[in-house]
């Protein structure tokens, strides 16, 4: 496989004066899918936020393309897409407006590309309605539509991406995530869902086992 894209060295995370994990070592290369597992409170979401550059570690370091993340935050932001457990969309905006706003913060996307992404996630006909009128599953699809844009960045960091999706949408998302990895992209995610479709370079990291 190719060179390491993202790496941790002796990473420690603390929350509310409690150590969630320590001494964590991982490497992520192009084409890999990394599932972070563990019981509630083991630090799954915190690890994703650390890798996305949204938190600071208690100790240890994160390297991005071989360099300390602190020097590379802007480049990591360009190369990654973070979707948290909440949908992260604005209820008063339409799906089209939400995606235009979200993509403008990164690469930008044409109106046609945004419309096509919404069709891909099953939201044709809902493009111009306020998002607060959509169901939880539809709001989740608005957020996930960013994964279907043509210029989506290579690294996807997703916290419980299958939340509120129906069976058909779950199958579609599994296939899309695996396809992204098979084309050289990378996915780091948490889920309580049992995957049925995994790419060749699938890795699972179990937290909360006494050691990472």
Spatial CA neighbour of 205 closest among 38, 8, 19:
38
Q: What is the mean pLDDT of the chain?
A: 92
Q: Which residues contact 158 (CB under 8 A, 6 or more apart)?
A: 48, 82, 83, 187, 188, 189, 190
Task: Give 61's Cβ-side CA count (13 Å radius).
Answer: 10
4-206 folds as Rossmann fold (3.40.50)
Distance of alpha carbon 17 from alpha carbon 6, whole angstroms = 27
Distance of alpha carbon 167 from alpha carbon 172, whole angstroms = 9
pLDDT at residue number 2: 54
pLDDT at residue number 104: 80
pLDDT at residue number 210: 47
Distance of alpha carbon 34 from alpha carbon 210, whole angstroms = 20
| Domain edges within the chain | 4-206
Task: Return the percentage of the chain with pLDDT > 90, whole number.
Answer: 77
Predicted TM-score (pTM) of this structure: 0.93
- Three-state DSSP class for 110? coil
- What mean pLDDT is predicted for residues 45-57? 93
pLDDT at 211 over 70: no
pLDDT digits (tens, 9 = 90+) for 108-139: 788 899 999 999 999 999 999 999 999 999 99
């Amino acid at each position: 496989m190719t060179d390491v894209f993202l790496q941790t060295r002796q990473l420690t995370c603390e929350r509310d004066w409690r150590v969630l994990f320590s001494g964590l070592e991982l490497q992520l290369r192009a084409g890999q899918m990394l599932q972070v597992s563990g019981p509630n409170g083991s630090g799954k979401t915190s690890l994703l936020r650390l890798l996305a550059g949204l938190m600071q570690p208690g100790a240890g370091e994160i390297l991005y393309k071989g360099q300390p993340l602190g020097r590379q935050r802007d480049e990591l932001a360009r190369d990654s897409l973070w979707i948290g457990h909440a949908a992260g969309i604005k209820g008063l905006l339409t799906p089209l407006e939400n995606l235009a706003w979200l993509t403008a913060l990164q690469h930008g996307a044409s109106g046609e590309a945004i419309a096509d992404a919404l069709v891909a996630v099953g939201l044709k006909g809902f493009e111009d309605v306020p998002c607060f009128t959509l169901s939880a599953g539809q709001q989740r699809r608005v957020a996930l539509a960013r994964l279907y844009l043509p210029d989506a960045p290579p690294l996807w960091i997703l916290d419980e991406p299958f939340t509120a999706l129906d069976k058909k949408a779950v199958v579609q998302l599994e296939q899309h995530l695996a396809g992204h990895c098979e084309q050289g992209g990378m996915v780091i995610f948490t889920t309580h869902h049992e995957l049925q479709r995994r790419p060749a370079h699938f890795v699972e990291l179990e937290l909360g086992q006494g050691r990472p």
